[in-house]
């Protein structure tokens, strides 16, 4: 039994599903996905174009197209993210095979490592990062077409034009992969050197081949550096360049350590099994075992290509390590210019995406140094399986966070069946690990004003994130204004309710009278969170300061049409358990309906 190269895309699809597909049907929206799908579902989705015009003008047209095709179903977007992730891995494998045609094993393992790259944990934010994977696939596709055009005369002009279009699309859509574009002339030099050994002639051919792609890069640099000013990510090349140069060595060292060493060390982190049930634990270990054994078996049975002469092996190693090192160094250029940290924590690990290529090349090259093929395959399979396991853990955390979001919005509508227009829901901070307050504004608007307009009728704001709140400093002598994802907001002292959501406790709409005697939380945040996890009723110091402004009269107890979270996103209403009765009793208490409180307590 042996496998041809045509089977590699199927194997990569299997690895994609193992790493990212387990919880695909159980995940919803988080972080930027709420804003994107919220704007796309407005009566005039053209607002997407207007929003992205502030930072990435071309980017909005991609989202306008995909949201109009896919709609608002969260599972459909998870499928989209799986497809684009797999597509990026396949195009990378194809590209590596074109660069090193005789090294099928190296190309395969480098593609696998890039696919499951452990430095990036946010694949579950499917709308946003499905599009980033699409841009990665465009970059690899452009690179592969341009190299293929060097190797063959057939359809050469067509391939060059297609490569230029893909390069321009991904560059002008997002600047994430700009640094990797600078690898193209180096790869041209390698490929051209196979047929033209003379250095001067080789250099001339390389410059001629790269010239059209270089013009695209120069056009992007001029546009991004001098003509267009992003309102989200400012490029600081000309702003205090001395400070930038002084901080650059530390930035580079930190990025290289995090993206290469710390990222792969992280695969040895096993999950907190107390959070998983027995069944899920068995599934987790089964996935790791199948992935490891399957990849080792497959790589051992891949049909061998032509063997490389002994004298060329050293040159190959130099190329692999050289290209991998260059890719790792160049990947960070956009983030160094904008002074963005490349770290392995949410949300900053989104900047590790371009580093996946260099890290994968270096790891695959390093494994080739092991003296025996069986050792190489075993170590590679183990590392890939552990990386798959880490991505399963990440997806599990996103699934748990989504379950909390669903619980939060159902409890909110039970406690507040309707809200007066213009109400602000104020919390000490976002209660969710992967979604902040500006994102929560969209599902809140969706829930309480299904027939929405481009103007937000409701918003969720956290004191610590948007208001820079400190106890004793918060002043409401005049409305507080700020900016959210898609526009501005105003927090007025007479139009807000203060909420507290600290699972496993139920959601609390804080009442200025009934909750005024709750104990004040200790100054230690860690101690405070530990007490909340144990279920102790407390007021954080920020909540205590804002409590007098919590206007529960903004809640409409008996509306004609009670609010419900949109079913196409949140699913059906859950079975009524303790928190349902608690919310309804708390609502009745606020209305002074003590008979209803007693009835609910009896039930």
**Each residue of 500-529: pLDDT tens digit?**
998 888 999 999 999 989 998 888 888 988
pLDDT given for residue 338 in this prediction:
78
Residues, the chain: 603
Count of other CB atoms within 10 angstroms of residue 386: 20
Count of other CB atoms within 10 angstroms of residue 360: 25
Residue 231: band (very low, low, confident or very high) from pLDDT cuts 50, 70, 90: low
Cβ–Cβ under 8 Å, residues 543 and 425: no
What CA–CA distance (Å, rounded) separates 161 from 169? 12
Report how far apart, in Å, the C-alpha atoms of 164 and of each of 160, 173, 211 are: 6, 14, 11
Give the CB-side neighbour count of residue 26, counting CA atoms within 13 A.
Answer: 14
What CA–CA distance (Å, rounded) separates 529 from 524? 9
Q: Which of 279-288, 365-374, 484-493 has the highest mean pLDDT?
A: 279-288
Mean pLDDT of the chain: 86
Res 473 pLDDT > 60? no
Res 433 pLDDT > 80? yes
% of the chain exceeding 70 in pLDDT: 89
Residue 573: band (very low, low, confident or very high) from pLDDT cuts 50, 70, 90: very high
Res 46 pLDDT > 90? no
Residue 452: band (very low, low, confident or very high) from pLDDT cuts 50, 70, 90: low
pLDDT given for residue 327 in this prediction:
93
Average pLDDT of 122-142?
94
Alpha carbon of residue 85 to chain centroid: 12
In terms of Cβ atoms closer than 10 Å to its own Cβ (0-12, 13-18, 19+), residue 427 is buried
Q: Which of 32-41, 131-140, 264-273 has the highest mean pLDDT?
A: 131-140
* Residue position matching structure tokens 């392995």: 344
Residue 587: band (very low, low, confident or very high) from pLDDT cuts 50, 70, 90: very high
Say what angle helices 373-415 and 104-115 make with each other, to 10 degrees. Answer: 20
Average pLDDT of 345-362?
92
> Phi/psi of residue 287, each to 5°?
-60, -45
Res 245 pLDDT > 60? yes
Higher pLDDT, 129 or 543: 129
What CA–CA distance (Å, rounded) separates 51 from 175? 17
What CA–CA distance (Å, rounded) separates 440 from 437? 5
> Phi/psi of residue 261, each to 5°?
-80, -60
Average pLDDT of 226-252?
66
Report how far apart, in Å, the C-alpha atoms of 119 and of each of 178, 322, 341 are: 19, 21, 13
Res 322 pLDDT > 80? yes
pLDDT given for residue 311 in this prediction:
53
pLDDT given for residue 402 in this prediction:
95
Report how far apart, in Å, the C-alpha atoms of 54 and of each of 49, 218, 242, 306, 437 are: 9, 22, 28, 52, 20
What CA–CA distance (Å, rounded) separates 219 from 229? 15
Q: Would you state the structure tokens that stand for residue 165, as one six-digit string?
A: 């279009």
Higher pLDDT, 53 or 103: 103
Higher pLDDT, 18 or 455: 18
Say what angle helices 373-415 and 355-367 make with each other, to 10 degrees. Answer: 150
Average pLDDT of 93-101?
93
Res 488 pLDDT > 80? no
Average pLDDT of 378-387?
94
pLDDT given for residue 230 in this prediction:
60
pLDDT given for residue 574 in this prediction:
93
Average pLDDT of 235-248?
64
pLDDT given for residue 126 in this prediction:
94
Average pLDDT of 431-453?
83
Average pLDDT of 437-444?
84
Higher pLDDT, 332 or 456: 332
Average pLDDT of 482-490?
58
Average pLDDT of 337-353?
87
Per-residue DSSP letters for 571-589? -SPPP--HHHHHHHHHHHH
Note the helical H segments in 259-372.
Answer: 263-265, 278-300, 310-331, 333-337, 355-367
Residue 457: band (very low, low, confident or very high) from pLDDT cuts 50, 70, 90: confident
Residue 301: band (very low, low, confident or very high) from pLDDT cuts 50, 70, 90: confident
Find the distance separating the first CA and the last CA of the chain, reported in whole Å: 66
β-strands 459-462, 480-484 pairing = unpaired
Residues 6+ apart with CB under 8 A from 382: 292
Give the pLDDT confidence of 545-569 residue by residue, as tens digits. Answer: 888 888 899 999 888 889 999 998 9
* Residue position matching structure tokens 């299904």: 450
Res 489 pLDDT > 70? no
pLDDT given for residue 484 in this prediction:
56
What CA–CA distance (Å, rounded) separates 203 from 185? 10
For 214-228, 276-290, 341-355, which range has the lowest pLDDT when averaged over its residues? Answer: 214-228
Note the helical H segments in 338-432.
Answer: 355-367, 373-415
Average pLDDT of 380-398?
94
Higher pLDDT, 470 or 490: 490
Nearest to 287 by CA among 386, 399, 380: 386
Average pLDDT of 366-391?
90
Res 584 pLDDT > 90? yes
> Phi/psi of residue 216, each to 5°?
-65, -45
Nearest to 88 by CA among 142, 135, 137: 137
Q: Would you state the structure tokens that stand for residue 358, as one six-digit string?
A: 């260099």
Nearest to 319 by CA among 189, 207, 198: 189
Q: Which of 228-237, 347-356, 454-463 has the highest mean pLDDT?
A: 347-356
Answer whether the bond into residue 347 is a cis peptide, omega within 30°: yes
Average pLDDT of 225-246?
62
Average pLDDT of 418-431?
86
* Residue position matching structure tokens 């009793």: 585
Give the pLDDT confidence of 179-215 residue by residue, as tens digits. Answer: 899 999 999 999 998 888 888 999 999 999 999 999 9
Res 148 pLDDT > 80? yes
pLDDT given for residue 91 in this prediction:
96
Residue 18: band (very low, low, confident or very high) from pLDDT cuts 50, 70, 90: very high
Res 334 pLDDT > 90? no
Give the CB-side neighbour count of residue 87, counting CA atoms within 13 A.
Answer: 17
% of the chain exceeding 90 in pLDDT: 49
């Amino acid at each position: 039994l042996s496998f041809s190269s045509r089977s590699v895309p199927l194997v990569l699809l299997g690895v994609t599903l193992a790493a990212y597909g387990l919880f695909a049907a159980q995940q919803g929206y988080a972080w930027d996905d709420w804003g994107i799908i919220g704007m796309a579902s407005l009566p005039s989705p053209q607002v997407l174009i207007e929003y992205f015009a502030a930072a990435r003008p071309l980017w909005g047209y991609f989202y306008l197209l995909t949201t109009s095709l896919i709609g608002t179903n969260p599972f459909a977007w998870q499928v989209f993210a799986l497809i684009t992730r797999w597509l990026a891995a396949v195009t990378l494998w194809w590209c590596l095979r074109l660069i090193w045609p005789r090294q099928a094993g190296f190309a395969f393992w480098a593609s696998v490592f890039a696919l499951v790259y452990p430095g990036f944990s946010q694949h579950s934010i499917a709308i946003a990062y499905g599009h980033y994977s699409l841009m990665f696939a465009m970059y690899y596709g452009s690179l592969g077409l341009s190299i293929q055009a060097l190797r063959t005369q057939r359809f050469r002009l067509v391939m060059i034009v297609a490569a230029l279009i893909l390069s321009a699309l991904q560059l002008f859509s997002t600047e994430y992969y700009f640094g990797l574009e600078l690898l193209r002339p180096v790869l041209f030099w390698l490929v051209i050197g196979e047929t033209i050994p003379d250095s001067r002639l080789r250099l001339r051919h390389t410059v001629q081949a790269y010239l059209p792609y270089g013009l695209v890069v120069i056009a992007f640099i001029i546009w991004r550096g001098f003509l267009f000013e992003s309102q989200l990510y400012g490029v600081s090349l000309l702003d205090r360049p001395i400070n930038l140069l002084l901080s650059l060595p530390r930035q580079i060292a930190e990025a290289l350590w995090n993206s290469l060493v710390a990222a792969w060390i992280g695969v040895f982190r096993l999950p907190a099994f107390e959070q998983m049930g027995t069944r899920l634990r068995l599934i987790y270990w089964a996935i790791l075992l199948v992935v490891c054994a399957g990849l080792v078996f497959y790589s051992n049975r891949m049909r061998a290509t032509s063997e490389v002469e002994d004298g060329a092996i050293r040159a190959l190693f130099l190329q692999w390590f050289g290209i991998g090192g260059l890719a790792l160094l160049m990947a960070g250029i956009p983030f160094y210019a904008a002074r963005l940290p490349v770290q392995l924590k949410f949300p900053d690990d989104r900047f590790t995406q371009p580093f996946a290529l260099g890290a994968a090349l270096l790891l695959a090259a390093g494994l080739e140094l092991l003296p025996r093929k069986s050792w190489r395959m075993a170590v590679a399979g183990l590392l890939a399986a552990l990386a798959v396991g880490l991505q399963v853990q990440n997806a599990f955390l996103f699934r748990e966070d989504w379950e909390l979001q669903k619980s939060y919005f159902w409890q909110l509508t039970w406690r507040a069946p309707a809200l007066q227009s213009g109400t602000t829901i104020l919390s000490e901070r976002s209660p969710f690990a992967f979604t902040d307050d500006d994102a929560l504004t969209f599902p809140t608007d969706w829930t309480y004003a299904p027939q929405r307009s481009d103007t937000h009728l409701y918003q969720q704001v956290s004191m610590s994130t948007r208001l820079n709140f400190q106890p004793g400093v918060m002043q409401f002598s005049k409305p507080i204004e700020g900016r959210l994802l898609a526009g501005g907001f105003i927090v007025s002292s007479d139009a807000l309710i203060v909420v507290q959501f600290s699972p496993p406790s139920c959601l609390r709409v804080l009442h200025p009278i009934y909750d005024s005697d709750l104990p004040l939380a200790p100054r230690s945040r860690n101690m405070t969170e530990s007490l909340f996890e144990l279920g102790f009723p407390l007021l954080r110091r920020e909540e205590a300061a804002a409590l007098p402004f919590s206007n529960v009269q903004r809640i409409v107890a008996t509306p004609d049409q009670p609010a419900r979270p949109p079913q196409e996103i949140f699913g059906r209403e859950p079975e009524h358990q303790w928190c349902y009765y608690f919310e309804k009793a708390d609502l009745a208490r606020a209305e002074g309906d003590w008979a209803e409180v007693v009835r609910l307590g009896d039930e």
